[in-house]
Each structure stands twice: as C-alpha cells, then as structure tokens.
Chain A
Amino acid sequence: MRTHDTGYARTRARWRALGLCFALILPGAARAAGWSADLGVTYDNNVTLAENASDILSDTFVSTSIAKSFSQALGERSRLVYRPFVLAQAYDKYDGLSFVAAGMNLTYQYRPSGAVLAPTWSAFAKTWVEEYKSKFRDSNRYSVGASVRRVLTDRLTFAAVVSANGRDSDGVVWDTHDRSLLLNLDYELARRALLYATLDYRDGDIVSTAVPTLKIVDAANAIQTDDVFGGNRLAYRLTGHTLVGKLGLNFRLNETDSLDLSAWYAHADADGGIRYDRTIVSVAYLTRF
C-alpha cells in the first residue's frame, strides 16, 4: 500500500526528472516560437465509460494548458519542433479525476517542397507525466507516431495521424496500450471561422468503471478498485476498439485569440459484447503570446 509520503516523494522525483530533461534539451534548441495557452470548460456525459445506465456518471471540468514551441531547422526541408507543455484539469463532482500533467512533444517535420499544396510529413514522440488526485491513475504516458498534413484547396486541409500509445500507471487497470488512426479535415467557413471534423479509430485497451457483473468480469483483463466513484464500482481494463467523432468550430477573435467549440461522440465496443457511448461538449478560449 502506498503511503502519502512515498507518493509525494515519487511525484517530486518525476517532476525533477522531467525538468532535468527540459534543461538538457532546450539550451540546444534554436529559435523559440511563442507561447500558446488555453482555458476551457467541458461536459462529459460518461466519465465512468460505463455501459449500464446505473453506472454512467457525468461531470464537468475546467481545463487549462500552456505550451511553448522551439524549432530547430535541420536543413531546407526539415526541422525538429520541441514543445514542452503543462496541462491541468479540475473536475466538479469527481475530484479524483482532476490532474496536472507536464510533458514534451518532439516532432520531426519534413516537407518535400515549398509548394503550397506540398504535404508535411511528421514523425513524433510525446511523453508526459500525469498526477491525479486518484491514487491509482497517476501515469507515465507516451505516444509515438507519424502524420501527414496537406492543404487540399484554399479552404480545405487534410491531416492523418497514426500512433501507438501507452500508459504506465499506479493502478494495474490503467496500464494500457492502444493504436490509433486519426483523420482530420479543416474547412475554412469564413475569414474568421474554421470548421473541423475528426474521426479517430482506436484499437487496444479500454478502461471502464462499473458495478461488477459477470459479463464485464469475464471480459476484463484486469480489475481493481476505483477510488473516484464509490458505490461498489470497480475499474476494468478491457480489450476493444473505440470510434470517436469530433466536430468543432474555431472562431478567431483576433490575430492571437480564438474561441473553440467542439462536440465529441465516442462509441466503444469491447470484448464480451460490452459497449459504451460517450458525448463530450467543450468550449475553450485559445491564445498565443
């Protein structure tokens, strides 16, 4: 059983390691770009990712993040982009879901030509640390993958991303791995308005919290207590796939600020015939400085 003291000590160790990494890398980076930050409010109608109505719980959270990019030219057509970031979410009802995170995203970008319609190919590695109020969800996370982004017309931009994602947590259920294929389309509605649509297919581990039933117990790869939701609910790691559709509208307020409205719908199918649906609505204020 982890004590608070040990937990805090480990948390401090992680942050120190992360800070050391940044300190080692960033002085070597070249040109610094600006800061970006956001502040948003999100409603999630199924934070338990549960199937049965009695287990489905909703919540609202406030999120904020800040990031700064550093770019290193590697030649005429390629560069490295370092992007350290800090993120926090605070939940209204289920405080254990609240967390702070910090990490680094490294992207290698290659563009075969300077033509407007030329695609941008990227390979990225992202790693970050999450510290939750829940004692089981604290995680080291990583994501590696590749993407392509291409302007299709003067209004339409397409992007595709494939990635492999992993999570190493203090709770066995949240030790997850999955693979993702994401397709995104940006459409410039007007000079200040951008409509975007995203389709994300994920194959791998799914975490759900529910009162135990034979159906979910039989299907689960791992089971453990969940210190967030109570009510005899347990957390389960299942194998399955999730399809996420997202529709968003980004409204530019001025050269540096914008307002972003988005709605997500996720449908998951897990082993054992377990399904869940989830809808997320978010509004966020984004800025660069």
Chain B
Amino acid sequence: MEPLLSVKNLRVEIPVGTGMLKPVRGISFDLQKGETLCIVGESGCGKSLTSLALMGLLPKVARRSGDHLRFAGQDLLGLKERQMAKLRGQDMSMIFQEPMTSLNPAYTIGDQLTEGMIRHQRVSRAEARDRAAFLLEKVGITAAASRLTQYPHQLSGGLRQRVMIAMSLMCGPDLIIADEPTTALDVTIQAKILRMMKNLQAEFGMAMIFITHDLGVVARIADKIAVMYAGAFVETGTAQQIFDAPTHPYTKGLLSCIPVPGKTERGARLGAVPGVVPSLINGVEGCGFASRCPMRQAACGSEPDLTDRGAEHSCRCVHDTDTLRNMEWEAA
C-alpha cells in the first residue's frame, strides 16, 4: 500500500556565523493512513524543525532538502508556496508546543477556528461555526458555543491547547503533526489531553506524527517510534519493539528515565541522560552519542548507518544486535 507520507533523507540546514548548522541530517520514514508515529528525543535534537520542514513552515533562513517528501501522492519538495498553502490546514495540520502564544490575541476563538475552513472548503460562516462548536465539544470544552465569542486571553493554557487541537481538526485532515502538544501543560491535564487525542484519532482516522521529549508519554499512543538524536534517527521500530527490545544505548538511556510504577524506588533520581549533545554546526563527527555512551569504542569515530535489526526495526550503532540487547544501561 502506498504510504500516506513517505519521507526520504530529509535535511534542514541553517547558515550561522561560523558555518552551517545541520539540525536535521537525513531523516527517512513512511507513515500509513491512520497510523501514529512518535518522534522522541531530547530538546534541541531537531524535532520541531523536522515538523516545520514537513509542513513547509521553516523560518526563512532555513533550507530544506531531501530525496523526496511524498504526501498523498505528490512530492512536497517541488511544491510552490501557494500549492503548499492549499494543503496546510486542509490535508495536513499542525498543533504547536506553545498554547499561550499560538493564538492571535486580537481575534475571537470562533474567528480563528473557522477562517481556515472557510478558505479551504468555501463553506458559510454559520456552517464553519457549527463545525467549530462541534469540535470544541469533542475536545472536551464545555459551553462550546459561547466559547466561540471569547478571546484567547480569557482561556487557560489547557483550554487554549484544546482549541488548537480542535482547530487542527476543522478540515478533517489526513495527517496531524503535534509538536509537544502537552509539554507546556501541567501533568494532570497532559494525561487527559493525550487520551483525548488518541480517541479523536480513532474516531476521525487521521495519521499522526506525535513529537515529544518524553518517552513515557508515547507508550499509550504510538504505533511506531523513532528515537531522534542530534538531527538523525538512531532507532526506529514499532512501539512494542522499542519498549520490549530497545537496541540503541540512547534509547535505553531514555527508557531508564521513565519512572516505572512499583519498580522505581520512591525518590530515585530520574531525569535526563547525562552528558551533552554535540554541536550540529557543519554536521557531526562520528557517532554523536559516543561521548555519552557506556559502550563507546574506537569504531565510534565514524558515524554508523541505520541498519536493520529485525522486521521494521532499525538502529544506528556499530555494535551487533545481540551485544546491544544484552547491555544494561548505566550512564557513561
């Protein structure tokens, strides 16, 4: 089956004073209709730029390239801005990380919810408002109809993010890209919103790329997971493979950061994989994770390829699969 989205060797480069920043260095994946891919990685590894590159919303300084970026049969890399704008909101939409600043303070929620649909589908204002009220209820906002006349500053962060989610659903897109949609919210709301997004996806059947820095979040929603490190995927696989048979040391490091009920001692130090990310200026020398890796060896001086470690499972490491699977994570 032709995948909904097929990305091959996607790159983003940004000229900076001292050379070329390479925050996205050749990313490839396929996404089927209705499927959820989670991209997981630390802050700064290039997740947001990847999602913006997919949407054609990169900042002007950034350059996008790749072998192809096929969405619903056409290669987005060759599209003009005007053609791209026709797809955005209509066939692919995006939810951003910052609910507090992602809505225009000058217009009502109703106006901002409806304007995309009015443009793309040439429906009347009343029709668009009906759809908006319907979706606000779907995302769990009470008194949805009266919310339409409110302004963003009258809503809490959690409500604003629900509005953003409803907005992304307005035109019934085939693909939604959610860039850390719950990161700015507090934990109790995070769980609710996550569950809601999962339900909405089941109901509306769109594919989703869900981006997060928190592997703990993805267990509940991912079909496939891509672990991203320093601008490239270091391990990809089904959710089950990543959680049951993690292969890359970085994936194991990330997993060790998730508290496991009953297993993790109270007060145990959880958090981040220790060490720092290499500079992405002018690319990365060798394996970017080597300095933080308990298994580093001389061969890590040249960057390994992403190689198959079973059906649909791949990993970017010089070590063989058995060695990797048997290794217990401890910080380097």
| A, B in one complex | no
On B, residues with C-beta under 8 Å from A are: none
On A, residues with C-beta under 8 Å from B are: none
